[in-house]
């Protein structure tokens, strides 16, 4: 569901260059036009492959300036201790008018609220929690403009409005 919402917001054009940060095994490719130039990036060595580079994004992105038309980060930004620097690196590798599509857990989801009320410890390595206001500001501070956003899915995986959604997808435009 996250991939469907993210690619729907992005409207990836055929022939585009796409960077998928936190790609795992590259499942996002199944939701993109077949003739794109795909580059996956992940920190886990078990996902290494011809189109997937193993790299820790906290040390920057290993690509030249203006290399990509789209950068996807699906459920990765909340794990990144260097979120501000990462957003700056994404800006650097995007072409003018490029899109940054980022999905993060919804801090207003009922599960998150209950877990916070009962002090349930985070088991997934989340460093940050992103509201629409904080992620918008992160984008603005790095030269992006928030263009659109929406909820991805409720659990079990069915489409949901943002307030009920398990995660929220944001579409930023490089200004």
pLDDT at site 151: 80
Query: Which range marks the domain in which residue 43 is found?
Result: 2-174
The total number of structural domains that make up the chain: 1
153: Cβ contacts below 8 Å, ≥ 6 apart: 1, 2, 5, 159, 160, 165, 166, 167
Q: Please check the confidence at residue 50 and state whether its pLDDT lies above 60.
A: yes
CA–CA separation, 98 vs 8, rounded Å? 15
Tell me the per-residue pLDDT of 54-83, one tens digit each, with 9 for 90 and over. 999 999 999 999 999 999 999 999 999 999
pLDDT at site 166: 78
Tell me the per-residue pLDDT of 103-115, one tens digit each, with 9 for 90 and over. 998 887 777 878 7
> Which residues on adjacent β-strands are paired with residue 124?
none
CATH number of domain containing 12? 3.40.50.150
In whole angstroms, how far apart are CA 14 and each of 51, 126, 131, 134, 154?
Answer: 18, 34, 32, 32, 30
pLDDT (mean) for 7-32: 96
Tell me the per-residue pLDDT of 113-172, one tens digit each, with 9 for 90 and over. 787 888 888 787 888 889 999 999 999 999 999 999 988 766 555 555 556 677 889 999
* 3-class secondary structure, 152: coil
> Which residues on adjacent β-strands are paired with residue 167?
105
> Which is more confidently placed, 21 or 5?
21
Q: For the chain, how long is the longest CA-to-CA vector?
A: 48
Mean pLDDT for all residues in the chain: 91
> Which is more confidently placed, 122 or 48?
48
């Amino acid at each position: 569901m996250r991939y469907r919402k993210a690619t729907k917001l992005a409207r990836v054009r055929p022939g585009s260059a796409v960077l998928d940060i936190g790609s795992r095994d590259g499942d996002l490719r199944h939701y993109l036009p077949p003739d794109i130039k795909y580059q996956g990036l992940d920190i886990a060595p078990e996902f290494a492959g011809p189109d997937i580079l193993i790299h820790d994004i906290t040390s920057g992105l290993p690509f030249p300036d203006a290399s990509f038309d789209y950068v996807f980060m699906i459920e990765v930004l909340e794990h990144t201790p260097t979120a501000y620097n990462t957003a700056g690196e994404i800006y650097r590798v995007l072409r003018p008018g490029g899109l940054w599509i980022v999905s993060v857990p919804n801090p207003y989801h009922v599960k998150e609220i209950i877990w916070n009320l009962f002090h349930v410890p985070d088991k997934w390595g989340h460093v940050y929690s992103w509201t629409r206001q904080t992620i918008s500001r992160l984008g603005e501070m790095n030269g992006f403009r928030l263009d659109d956003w929406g909820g991805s899915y409720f659990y079990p995986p069915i489409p949901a409005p943002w307030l009920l959604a398990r995660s929220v997808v944001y579409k930023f435009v490089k200004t």
